[in-house]
Structure 1
Amino acid sequence: MYTALNDKGKIVHAADVKNNQKGGPAYDSEHFKCPGCGNEVYVRGGSIYVKAHFAHRIFTSCNGGDGESLKHKEAKLFIKTWLEQSGYNAEIEKVLPKAGKQRADIYVSMQGKKVVLEIQRSFLDEQQFYKRQLLYEKAGYTVIWIGVREENQEVYRKRLSVLDSICFRLFPFMHAFSYNSACRKLQIETAHTQLQGGVFLFQRTLISDTQNPYDCFFSEEVPALQEKISMRIEQEWKKKAAAKRGYPRKNITQAENEVLPYYLNHRLNLNYFPALCHIPVCGFSGIRTSVEVWQSWIIIHYVQKPGEKISLTPLTKAFENQRSFTFLPLAEHRRNLIRRGILNYLLVLAEFGALRRVYPGIFEVIKPLTVKKPLEQLFADDEYVRGKWKLLFRV
């Protein structure tokens, strides 16, 4: 294992002890304990062949005490130490009787809020997740799920899994937290942008150890959009749009079958979707279905007749009830997230003159999209939409 506890119960890393990188009494201590079994451990290795790590001085069957991975335990101890250094009393593995006797990874009271921090690295069954989440919420706990990542990148491109989706928080803005084991820092993930079914681009911003944990977990300030992710969105968007225009759809999904008849009526196939039906939507909505499919569905069913009103609430409900659309499990209510994603898309259509926003949740159709266009025109439309989108949203 790569982490242990010093005489004061603080987390230390084997590489730092070996190289005395940090200095100070925490790393000068001669006695370190295993966080799992409490027995004494010492530093060994540290060569080019063997990475520095802690080993037990006596024979033991300890494997971390409770089956947790080293990364999970490292994240838990890091967050506990950070909370305590900021003056909070953090308790590890606290049993919460009012929440079905669940054992919280970390429990901490922060400015009147009963906060449970759950570090999740391994697969979690959807039913188990919903059960745990509901028990915490009914007992009045604020639950923050924290993922564990090993990549040290500023911009991620990832097909989001169940594990990723449960970490999302909707308010006061769309974000998620994770522990970056590569640099041993907590990070906030924002600007999740869907470019194809289930695949998202997002940025991460490292959180300083000196930042107050409450200000971090309950911040209302949205991290600025980085230039790197702006450029990556444009590159990926162009690449994906060209690919979807150029190859025949061999295996049609249920969601694609929903919109296919609309294109067939115009003697077209799914490669001929309008440019405004493949817009990157910034803000995770939990939708696994491909962008050009669910956006085409909205255009087909709601953006057809000039002067017609679109109400966001019934549109969101109809979208959620579409059996052909697939979604990821979410800690937030699914309908709230879907509503946010659809609203962002309707706002884009309004900027391009297809809709007009009448009230916060009501839009009016101004100009329906023309579907039957030659492929050459659609490629030109793609370039035009990307260029205008960049100007409108400063990407």
Structure 2
Amino acid sequence: MLVAQNQKGILYSVHDRSKDSLLQLRNNEVFQCPSCKEPVLLRIGDQRIPHFAHIQSTHCQSFSEPESLYHLTGKLELFNWLAAQSLFPVLEPYLKTLKQRPDLYVATTKTAIELQCSTIDVKQFRDRTDGYRMVNIHPLWLLGGKRLKRIDKDQFYLSAFDWMFVRLIQKKPSLLFYCSESKKFLFLHHILPMSSTIVQATLKVVDPKKLTFNDLLTPTTNSEFPIKHWLELKKSWRLNATQYPSQSMKKLLHYLYAKQVYPSLLPSEIGIPVPSMYWIHTSPNIWQAWILLEFIEGQPLSSVFSFQSVYDYFNYKKRNHLFSLRELPLITNSHYSFAIMEYLHVLVQVGVLRQINRKTFIRSRSCYFPRHIEEALEQDQHFLLQHKRLFL
């Protein structure tokens, strides 16, 4: 930590103090944590920046993580960046009503800034976020830049923990990082899940000097849907779906074999990217296959059904562990049901369904099953290119 208090409750910060003044301070004062009131030691060395540290193991919960040099440095750099914009940030303020200490607080916008460099407990993350919201403070979470794992030019690995920090920018999932080594902000825009952990996304690296605080609060993006990459993923799935299948895939394969359907020859209407599919951890090839083949194709032509019945069907599969969802605490104006409705709308656009009213549909036609893999791949390309406006 960079702020502690003496026995009289006076707060002291190590920020912008010379080494000599810090040594004098350490010799003349006894410090404690403003949150848990346990004693802390002012550490002044040559390898790390000066900071306060609890003298012994403690259960202090005011910070979201143990602090590394990388985290301490990033916190100070963000403080200086905000101060240069005359925003008067407060470093590590103790919010007594919440018993929390955000890394930084900007009073003019009521924003608590948290730079998260290591993994913390999911409940702790949710509690801190909900606590801020409860007192009308906007939580702005940044991930440490070292957490970003790049696989290819536009492909990245995101853990379930990383996904929790996703927020919507122009209705598209995005992540914000800050790296104290490169001294850069990193924006990961238009995150498109290609599998449970691999995503397609656009990375934008920005020098803080070219960015304002408002740019962090309301960033913009003009990235487009990567149709080429999605087609490559669809092809790979068709060719390799039976190799090392997950438990949910094994259950789908068992269903398909009973129906004498090859997984490589499923209709092109399965595995369709829809805007809100980021909610669903399970591959769209799997959850859409169940909805289309078992629920929709299992009904006679011209039969009428409601969105609620499809939603109930999805939840039944979820309870039986065929589908799983992601934890997305920072997304408050969306829901996984959006992805289900968006998929039904795609099926309306291609004529599989007809929509009677806002939440009622009729099965209009049967899906076409390709006869061989070449035809399947050709249909995938035709389908996605013809209907790409649905995914942008």
Alignment of 1:92-171 (within 5 A): 92-99=91-98, 101-111=99-109, 114-150=110-146, 156-170=154-168
Matched residue of 1:124: which SS? coil
Asked whether the 8 Å contact 2:71–2:180 carries over to 1, the reply is no
Alignment of 1:210-225 (within 5 A): 210-218=210-218, 222-225=220-223
1:295 aligns with 2:288: yes
Asked whether the 8 Å contact 2:48–2:69 carries over to 1, the reply is no
Q: What is the rounded CA distance, in whole Å, between the counterparts of 2:243 and 2:89 in structure 1? A: 54
Asked whether the 8 Å contact 2:149–2:158 carries over to 1, the reply is no
Asked whether the 8 Å contact 1:195–1:291 carries over to 2, the reply is no
Structure 1 residue 133: deviation in Å? 2.5
Asked whether the 8 Å contact 1:286–1:330 carries over to 2, the reply is yes
1:209 aligns with 2:209: yes
TM-score under structure 1 normalisation?
Answer: 0.70
Equivalent of 1:259 in 240, 252, 258: 252
Q: What is the rounded CA distance, in whole Å, between the counterparts of 2:339 and 2:75 in structure 1? A: 32
Tell me what 2:263 maps to: 270
Matched residue of 2:102: which SS? strand
Asked whether the 8 Å contact 2:238–2:264 carries over to 1, the reply is yes
**Cα distance change on mapping 1:32 and 1:327 into 2, 3 Å:** farther
**Cα distance change on mapping 1:380 and 1:57 into 2, 3 Å:** closer
**Cα distance change on mapping 1:58 and 1:104 into 2, 3 Å:** closer
Structure 1 residue 248: deviation in Å? 6.0
Structure 1 residue 160: deviation in Å? 1.7
Alignment of 1:161-240 (within 5 A): 161-170=159-168, 173-174=171-172, 175-181=174-180, 183-207=182-206, 209-218=209-218, 222-225=220-223, 233-240=226-233
CA RMSD in angstroms comes to: 3.9
Asked whether the 8 Å contact 2:75–2:115 carries over to 1, the reply is yes
Aligned-partner residue type, residue 90 of structure 1: P
Tell me what 1:279 maps to: 272
**Cα distance change on mapping 1:86 and 1:363 into 2, 3 Å:** farther
Structure 1 residue 223: deviation in Å? 1.0
Q: What is the rounded CA distance, in whole Å, between the counterparts of 2:341 and 2:179 in structure 1? A: 32
Matched residue of 1:103: which SS? coil
Asked whether the 8 Å contact 1:259–1:297 carries over to 2, the reply is yes
Structure 1 residue 90: deviation in Å? 1.4
TM-score under structure 2 normalisation?
Answer: 0.71
Identity in percent: 20
Tell me what 2:368 maps to: 370
Q: What is the rounded CA distance, in whole Å, between the counterparts of 1:93 and 1:314 in structure 2? A: 49
Q: What is the rounded CA distance, in whole Å, between the counterparts of 1:320 and 1:118 in structure 2? A: 34
Asked whether the 8 Å contact 2:169–2:221 carries over to 1, the reply is no
Q: What is the rounded CA distance, in whole Å, between the counterparts of 1:61 and 1:379 in structure 2? A: 56
Structure 1 residue 193: deviation in Å? 1.2
**Cα distance change on mapping 1:213 and 1:319 into 2, 3 Å:** farther
Of the structure 1 ranges 154-163 and 80-89, higher mean CA displacement relative to structure 2 is found in: 154-163
Of the structure 1 ranges 289-298 and 359-368, higher mean CA displacement relative to structure 2 is found in: 359-368
Asked whether the 8 Å contact 1:307–1:364 carries over to 2, the reply is yes
Structure 1 residue 213: deviation in Å? 1.6
Q: What is the rounded CA distance, in whole Å, between the counterparts of 1:284 and 1:394 in structure 2? A: 11
Q: What is the rounded CA distance, in whole Å, between the counterparts of 2:89 and 2:113 in structure 1? A: 10
Aligned-partner residue type, residue 142 of structure 1: H
Q: What is the rounded CA distance, in whole Å, between the counterparts of 2:290 and 2:104 in structure 1? A: 43
Asked whether the 8 Å contact 2:353–2:365 carries over to 1, the reply is yes
**Cα distance change on mapping 1:103 and 1:160 into 2, 3 Å:** same
Structure 1 residue 152: deviation in Å? 10
Structure 1 residue 57: deviation in Å? 8.6
Return 5+ residue gaps in structure 2 as ranges: 1-13, 25-42, 54-65
